[in-house]
Each structure stands twice: as C-alpha cells, then as structure tokens.
Amino acid sequence: MSVEQDTRQNAHDGYLSMHNGWFASGWPSYLPQHQAMALCMLFGTATVRELRGDVDEVLEQLFNGNIGAFFGHASISLDSPVLWMDDDELDYAETDEEKDQIRAEAEKHQARCEELLRTAGLGVPTNIRELAGTMLAAGIASQQAGVWSMPEDIPGPETVLALTDDERSAIEDRRRFWDSSSAEHTLIGHLDEGLNRPEELFTSIDRLAKATELSEEDLRHALGRLVQEGEARLERGAARERAALEDLQAHERFHLVLDWEHFNENRITVQRGR
C-alpha cells in the first residue's frame, strides 16, 4: 500500500496515514467528501500501524474515544449523520439566490450519488458508521481476521457504479490532474528532504529535471505551481531580474528562490510512508 503520512494530526505516538491514491481514485466525488477522506485516513493508519479491531476499536486505540478531534467537531461520533455538503460552502455565496443555487446543486448531487450506490447494492449511508461499511463494500479497504489492509490501487467508482460516459470522463480528468500534481510532490520532496530547504538554488530546467528524475515537462508544471502559489520565484542574470518560466530555455541557469515561511503557512507537509 502506498501512503502519505500526514503531520496535521499526531495521534499519540505517530502520524496518521493517507493512501496516495485516494484523491485520484474518483471516490471523493461520489461519497460524503470530508468524512470519507477521514475514514480513508483511518483505514490507512490501521493498515500501516497493523492495528486490529473494528472501526470503533481502532478509533479508541488512536484517540481514546475522543474522535471529535479526528472528524473536526467535538460532538461528532460514528453515529453522526453523513454530510454531503459542508456549511462552509455557503460562505462563498454573496446573495441568498446564490446560496439557494448551491443548496439545490448539492441536493441534486446527493440524489445522484445515492441512486448510484443503491443501484450497485452498496447501501446508502446515513451516518459515519454506515459510510465506513459502504467504503469497505466498495473495496476501498478490507479487514480479515482483524487485520486491516488497503489495495495498492484503490478500485475507482467506475468499477462498481453505473456511471455515464460523462461521469467516467470526469474521473479520468481528475486522475490526469493528480498525476501531474505528483510531480509537484516530487519536486517539493527533493527541495525539502533532499536539499534541506535551501533559501535559493542556482540551477536550470534540465539539471533540476535530472536531479528529481522528472521529465522537463513535468518539472515545468511543478515549478509553475510553486510560482503560482507564491512559494517560489525565478530570477536570472547578474541583476537578478524576475524571469517567466515559459521564457527559460532548458539549459539556461536561473536562481530558484524559495519562500518556506509561506509554504509552511499554506501547505500540509507530508512525509512518505514506508
């Protein structure tokens, strides 16, 4: 199983673990998004740490029963209702009409997902405990003789749900996005763990691509993301003028200036699991 270890939460004696393939799998679009992500992290942690027991017992081992901190609200339990839409989504609406539209679209999305789950025989979850059962039935994780495991490649919703061609295409688009974002993770890992967070690096596209074992195209994408997020800037020449990524030739040397303070404030730092 391929995992990332998430430093946002430290469950007693170690990190929580998230399967690398969760976001690319397509399931976040067909399950209550945030609660399903939390359960995927729970399954991953139980797998990596070789914890035994059902979901209740694993949560007890990790949080001594205080699972509200894990799901984000102190009053939440496994018997709390699933949330297909977070109230935070309404914060972006400027008018009551926009809020009504967001609610209507969320209700339409929920109805479609419930229809797909029901038709597939997976069960429509009404609370978090049932959501865990639905995810197990879908093959996202499994438990045998008390031992948890997750597949190396999470089977996508298209393997069990009767999706339309447009829905399948949307999943493929999502996977292409996450495949490209893996290059960003690789570059960040090289700069962070490999080079111990330098304030700046004098390099070139071809040199950095070789050092990270990325294609030049993927490296340019990853660099572009860092620049876009305000975590890096590119400078060249004796006068150290700001350079545009698209203007740099593969062999042309430039200074990659990194803002790690901005990175720490805006990113979730991850460490690769074993």
Q: How far apart are CA 113 and CA 13, in angstroms?
A: 37
**Residues 242 and 140 placed together within one structural domain of the fold:** no
Q: Alpha-carbon distance 244 to 22, whole Å?
A: 33
193 and 149 within one domain: no
Count of domains forming the chain: 2
200 domain-assigned: yes
124 in Cβ contact with 118 (< 8 Å): yes
Q: Quick check: is 91 in a domain?
A: yes
Domain holding 226: CATH number? 1.10.10
Phi/psi for 258 (5° steps) reads: -110, 140
Q: Do 133 and 73 share a domain, yes or no? A: yes
Contacts of 104 (CB under 8 A, 6+ apart): none
Q: Is residue 260 part of a domain?
A: yes
Average pLDDT of the segment spanning 187-208: 93
> 32 and 65 share a domain?
yes
Residues 149 and 202 in one domain: no
pLDDT at position 166 is 95
The pLDDT value given to residue 271: 40
245 domain-assigned: yes
Is 57 part of any domain?
Answer: yes
Q: Are residues 144 and 229 in the same domain?
A: no
Residue 187 near residue 198 (C-beta atoms within 8 A): no
Length of the chain (residues):
274
* Domain identity same for 201 and 144: no
In a domain, 163, yes or no: no
Task: Compute the distance between CA of residue 206 and CA of residue 214 in angstroms, rounded to an integer.
Answer: 9
Q: Is residue 170 part of a domain?
A: no
Q: Would residue 160 count as lying in a domain?
A: no
Residues 150 and 49 in one domain: yes
Band the pLDDT of 6: cuts 50, 70, 90.
Answer: very low
Say if residue 191 is in the same domain as residue 254. yes
Average pLDDT over residues 89-96: 79
**Distance of alpha carbon 208 from alpha carbon 67, whole angstroms:** 43
Nearest to 148 by CA among 9, 4, 7, 17: 17
Q: Is the pLDDT of residue 15 over 90?
A: no
Residue 268 is predicted with a pLDDT of 47
Q: Does the pLDDT value for residue 158 go beyond 90?
A: yes
Q: Which residue, 121, 155, 189, sits at the end of a domain?
A: 155
pTM: 0.67
Q: Specify whether 237 is located in the same domain as 101.
A: no
Question: DSSP labels for 243-266?
Answer: --GGG--TT-EEEEEE-HHHHHHH
Count the Cβ atoms, other than its own, within 10 Å of residue 86. 14
Question: Do 15 and 131 share a structural domain?
Answer: yes
| Tokens 């597949």, residue located | 151
- Range of the structural domain that residue 50 is part of: 3-155
Whether residue 16 is found in the same domain as residue 128: yes
